[in-house]
Amino acid sequence: MAFPVNRMRRLRNNEKLRAMVRENRLSAEQLIYPLFVAHGKGIKSEISSMPGNYRFSIDLLVDEVKEASDLGINSVILFGIPHAKDAVGSEAYNPKGIVQEAVRKIKEEAPEVIVITDVCIDEYTDHGHCGLVREGEILNDETLELLAKMALTHAEAGADMVAPSDMMDGRVGAIREKLDEFGFCNTPIMAYSAKYASAFYGPFREAADSSPKFGDRKSYQMDPANSNEALREVELDLEEGADIIMVKPALSYLDIIYRVKSEFGVPVAAYNVSGEYSMVAAAAGNDWVDRERIVMEILLSIKRAGADMILTYHAKEAARILAKS
Ligand code: PBG
């Protein structure tokens, strides 16, 4: 039945009605706060392309985690900035490496926070690639053991969840097997399954000094033109034991989030990545957009597309906005 019997505006008449019929809501519990950790003491240095985000030494990282937790954010994901890089990314799986030590300290001082660790060697290799390199080729199978070892050292340090972001084939299975072998059968894997070769990672690479020193990541990360392929990636990761599926980036890939959620119905995380953050920060910094409204609209769109969890550098500000609304 058409107008005037039906009037869509009836339920938009005031905020109480709008709240009653609201289909999607954000909650701080489903935000995951990405954090960069570096060696040293008393360090909190701002990432220039991501104003409001910092590289922390472990002591100050713990304070930041507690602050986030007080705002209702239950989980963080850690990225390490090692003191040394080499061809095989040794610091990535050093049991006393930067992330391993950070995890230990957080679990000691804020045990209620879910600590997720990024599993990938690119921040630790001198060539900046996510896999071992031989004669310019990024090796797949040879990298798997390193990733599994890295994940194990994270779990041994107390990580609650590991998140492989390397895009090597078979890494979820290799990590699952290693964790199980050492008694970590209850440590979930959040797999960066549909991770695209994206220009939106630019600011992150500045933050972690992890740009590839030659070539690009297109031989392992996905082609932005593809979406059926994302479903295959997800299917394979689920078969290998992934517990949570991630789509990354988020904003230009809302269709992928939607398809993955509709097709598989598994927990889906979306990564609102560094470049997405920087664009908002830049525009809001110039007063071209209303920062609070833009942030909430973006996060809500990711949720509406089908994501259960959102990894976002906006986590703290979003939690603050949610608390007052
Ligand atoms: C790889 C990794 C990257 C990001 C998370 N894990 C960068 C890359 O693939 O180059 C990017 C996250 C962001 O842009 O916020 N270890």
For residue 279, pLDDT over 90 is answered with yes
Q: What is the mean pLDDT of residues 17-46?
A: 97
What's the rounded mean pLDDT across residues 228-242?
Answer: 98
| Token digits of residue 195 | 């991770």
Question: Is residue 116 lining ligand 1, measured as CB closer than 6 Å?
Answer: no
For residue 301, what are its two tokens? 């769109």
Residue from 85, 195, 303, 316 carrying the catalytic annotation: 195
Which atom of ligand 1 is least distant from the CA of 203? Answer: 14
Residue 192 lies in a domain: yes
The answer, yes or no, to whether any atom of ligand 1 lies below 6 A from the CB of 53, is: no
| C-alpha 219 to ligand 1 mean position (Å) | 15
E strand intervals along the chain: 31-38, 44-46, 54-57, 75-81, 114-119, 133-134, 137-138, 161-164, 190-195, 244-248, 268-272, 309-312
**Strands 44-46 and 54-57: what pairing?**
antiparallel
What are the distances in angstroms from CA 175 to CA 76, 102, 193? 20, 21, 14
Check if 66 has its Cβ closer than 6 Å to any atom of ligand 1: no
Span 80-100, pLDDT tens digits: 999 999 999 999 999 999 999
195 is catalytic: yes
Q: What are the tens digits of pLDDT across the range 103-117?
A: 999 999 999 999 999
Residue 271's pLDDT is 98
Given a contact cutoff of 8 angstroms between Cβ atoms, the answer to whether 150 and 119 are in contact is: yes
Quick one: which atom of ligand 1 is closest to the CA of 212? Answer: 10
Atom of ligand 1 nearest to the CA of 122: 16
In the prediction, which pLDDT does 212 show? 92
Asked if residue 2 is part of any domain, the answer here is no
In a domain, 208, yes or no: yes
Mean pLDDT over residues 281-292, rounded? 98
Q: Please give the helix or strand (H or E) that residue 235 lies within, else none.
A: helix 228-239
Range of the domain at 311: 25-324
CA triple 128-141-98, angle to 5 deg? 45
Please work out whether the CB of residue 205 comes within 6 Å of at least one atom of ligand 1: yes
What is the 78 CA–ligand 1 centroid distance (Å)? 11
> Would the CB of 204 count as within 6 Å of ligand 1?
yes
Mean local confidence (pLDDT), 138-151: 97
Does residue 201's CB lie within 6 angstroms of at least one atom of ligand 1? yes
Distance CA 316, CA 248 (A): 20
205 CA to middle of ligand 1, Å? 7
Given this model, what pLDDT does residue 85 score? 96
**Residue 268 counted as domain residue:** yes
Question: What are all long-range contacts of 143-149, with beta carbons under 8 Å and residues at least 24 apart?
Answer: 143/168, 143/171, 144/168, 144/170, 144/171, 144/174, 145/174, 146/88, 146/89, 146/92, 146/93, 146/121, 147/119, 147/120, 147/121, 147/171, 147/174, 147/175, 148/174, 148/175, 148/177, 148/178, 149/93, 149/178
Closest CA to 240 of 182, 187, 189: 189
Q: Which tokens sit at 290?
A: 């209303």
Q: What pLDDT, on the 0 to 100 scale, is given for residue 192?
A: 98
Q: Of the residues 165, 192, 200, which should be mutated to test ligand 1's pocket, given the most ligand atoms within 8 Å of the CB?
A: 165
Tokens in use for 171? 């890494």
Examine residue 16 and state whether it is found in any structural domain, yes or no: no
**Residue 51 domain-assigned?**
yes
Among 52-56, 141-145, 205-209, 236-240, the range scoring the smallest mean pLDDT is: 205-209
pLDDT(1) > 90: no
The whole-angstrom separation of Cα 213 and Cα 110 is 37
The answer on pLDDT for 325 being more than 90 is no
Q: Is 274 in the pocket of ligand 1 (CB under 6 A)?
A: yes
Beta partners for 50? none
Quick check: is 155 in a domain? yes
Q: Could you tell me which residues come within 8 angstroms of residue 145 by beta carbon, excluding any fewer than 6 positions away?
A: 174
What's the mean pLDDT when you consider all of the chain? 97
Examine residue 5 and state whether it is found in any structural domain, yes or no.
Answer: no
191-230 residue pLDDT tens = 999 999 999 999 999 898 889 999 999 999 999 999 999 9
CATH label of the domain that carries residue 212? 3.20.20.70
Give nearest CA residue, ligand 1 atom 5.
Answer: 165
pLDDT at 53 over 90: yes
Atom of ligand 1 nearest to the CA of 273: 15
In the chain, the number of structural domains is: 1
Per the CB < 8 A criterion, the answer to whether 150 and 92 are in contact is yes
Kindly report the backbone phi and psi dihedral angles of residue 160, in degrees, each rounded to the nearest multiple of 5, phi listed first.
Answer: -85, -20
Q: With a cut of 90, say whether residue 235 has pLDDT above it.
A: yes
Distance 79 CA to ligand 1 centre (A): 9
Average pLDDT of span 48-65: 98
Integer Cα distance of 31 and 34 in angstroms: 10
Residue from 188, 132, 201 nearest 160 by CA: 188
Contact 214, 127 (CB under 8 A): yes
The average pLDDT across 154-162 equals 98
